[in-house]
Structure 1
Amino acid sequence: MSAAVQLYIEQVERVRRLSAATVRAYRSDLADLTTFLGDPEIAQIDVEDLREWLWSAAQNGIARASVSRRTASARGLFGWALGESLRPDDPTLRLVTPKRGRTLPTVATSTSLDDVLNGLRAAADESGDPIVLRDAALLEVLYGAALRVSEACGLDLESLDRSASTVRVLGKGGKERVVPFGAPAAKAVDAWIVRGRPTLMTDPPTTALFLGARGGRLGVRTAYEVVRRTVGPVVGADAVGPHALRHSAATHLLDGGADLRSVQELLGHASLGTTQIYTHVSTERLTAAYRLAHPRA
């Protein structure tokens, strides 16, 4: 089975060209399945084996969304194996996918984010510390352009059109989009490029917009830590990540009157249904305000 998994991972990575994060998830899930079953021949695996694997994951406290993803990983593998004549049938056809619970994204208020971002920019301007200048620019771009963390870390200098205050982003599935960012983000990015970035630049130079402390392209883990340290206290969650800024930007746009299609385009969602979760966030906030303020709520 391990050999079949390796061939399948190569196929989804090189032929289907799925995102690096998706490939990592598939590889991890299928490695776990291989270990759980003791690496048998792939043709010997039946639906009961798969059900036991998923049941064991659920019993070990793995989140429902992760169990659902494991089911999808297995479906992909065995569908491919059937097409490659590695087995005569697809055991996942009788495998029930657990329903994923709808969890609303973590969202900070616009006022609290203004306080955080303005405070960080003031600290950056006063100290001139290149790391603080970078962090201020990074947070402004993540929130101002509603980017995924991988998209922000993947930006190059040439991705920016500073005169138009737009950025060209390479999103999921290799899809490119151009999105605007606001005046505060433009000022923070200019300060970073002029005063901070040259200090961290090493030889040979890199085209990356955001740099790590050693001069290379900023890593996703470092970006997570920046957001956790600065935004976490605002939303009251220590494990908050860069997606909280993206969620907040989308919700604030809808609260401010932006239409759903425009927000979909900004976020780079393939499906409008993915964007619609933010209407639920806005509705819940409206309902909470109504219950607190209306005399006959």
Structure 2
Amino acid sequence: MTEATEDDPTPAALDAARSRYLRHLTIERGLSPNSLAAYRRDLGRYVAALAAEGVIDPAQIARGHVTAFVAALRTGAPGVPPLAASSTARILSAVRGFHRFLEEEGITETDVAYDVVAPKRPERLPKALTIDQVERLLEAASGEGALRARDRALLELLYATGARISEAVGLDVDDVAEPGSVRLHGKGGKQRIVPVGRYAQEALDAYLVRARPELSARGTATPALFLGARGARLSRQSAWHVLSAVAERAGLRAHVSPHVLRHSFATHLLQGGADVRVVQELLGHASVATTQIYTLVTADTLLDVYATSHPRAR
């Protein structure tokens, strides 16, 4: 085995194993140049860390070396900032693939990294507007003219149903044929019927009776529910622009996106006592686990109220 030198701080045996794995990724797996560059960079960092620990041959690597490397990525080092959980998980994936290859090729007897677990990514709680903020937003969407009527109907529908923006702009007129409900076309071609509240239904009726015919006359015939200024189906980008403009008129400084309205829909339902499985169906989530993140939002609200209101909370 070849020791590392001052000119080449990486032990030759380790570097040769890494190069062999990269060739495997290129030839057998057909990775793109960008992906290959990422693997080369991540494994170079790993091999350098092993060399710094005096490891000069793949056979010397133990599970402890892998876990120590992962821990160092998360905590950082002098002059080296710690990495986010997502970045650490990406590097560990490259390391695990490397060790799996070493075992399969007979370079090492065991795969020392097979059960090393990536750090858990912190759950990002969805942002939600308050009910007062939603009311201000919807009121700011009101006004004269066909476009204002469309904007009010669109935003009322988004908040009333929790629809994704793609589902909303993908609606056809026939999807709201039944009063009090709307048929949404979700991911994977799945459809769901979602109730529409009185305010949203009134906004939709006003739009369909007065505003949509005017907008439709500006373009060619289309079954689309929401139309743009030229009579074509409203695009996702245009819908984003509508919401941004209305939020600005409402004086809402917080970032407001269609997904924020979806989060607000779910959060307000749970705060009002709705069962999480009902909310799951309304949102079109395949798993209730996805919906349960909203229960964390309401739990945080309860804790905040308790901390500020109970005389012996502190």
TM-score (norm 2): 0.64
Taking the TM superposition and a 5 Å limit, the aligned residue runs for 1:1-297 are 40-41=26-27, 43=29, 50=39, 52=41, 99-121=120-142, 123=143, 127=144, 129-163=145-179, 165-201=180-216, 202-231=218-247, 236-238=253-255, 240-297=256-313
Q: How large is the RMSD of aligned CA atoms in angstroms?
A: 3.8
- Seen in structure 2, the aligned counterparts of structure 1 residues 116 and 269 have a Cα distance that, compared at 3 Å, is same
Residues 34-76 of structure 1 show CA distances to partners (whole Å, capped at 9, x for unaligned) of: xxx9x954536599953736999xx9xx98669979999xxxx
Give the aligned residue type for 1:199: E
Q: Distance in 1 between matches of 2:91 and 2:214?
A: 44
Structure exhibiting the larger radius of gyration computed from Cα positions:
2
Q: Distance in 2 between matches of 1:94 and 1:103?
A: 26
- Seen in structure 2, the aligned counterparts of structure 1 residues 71 and 169 have a Cα distance that, compared at 3 Å, is farther
C-alpha deviation, 1:162, in angstroms: 3.9
- Seen in structure 2, the aligned counterparts of structure 1 residues 107 and 195 have a Cα distance that, compared at 3 Å, is same
Higher relative contact order (CA 8 A, sep 6+): 1
Give the aligned residue type for 1:43: R
Q: Distance in 2 between matches of 1:148 and 1:224?
A: 12
The structure carrying a bigger helix percent of its residues is 1
TM-score (norm 1): 0.67
Q: Distance in 2 between matches of 1:200 and 1:275?
A: 37
Q: Distance in 2 between matches of 1:244 and 1:265?
A: 18
Give the aligned residue type for 2:187: K
Q: Check the 8 A contact 1:144/1:185 in 2, yes or no.
A: yes
Q: Check the 8 A contact 2:26/2:36 in 1, yes or no.
A: no
Structure 1: stretches of 5+ with no match in the other structure: 1-36, 73-92
Q: Distance in 1 between matches of 2:247 and 2:90?
A: 28
C-alpha deviation, 1:236, in angstroms: 3.0
C-alpha deviation, 1:225, in angstroms: 1.7
Identity %: 44
Residues 96-117 of structure 1 show CA distances to partners (whole Å, capped at 9, x for unaligned) of: 7664321111101112212321
Aligned residue-pair number: 234
Structure 2: stretches of 5+ with no match in the other structure: 1-22, 46-79, 94-113
C-alpha deviation, 1:291, in angstroms: 1.6
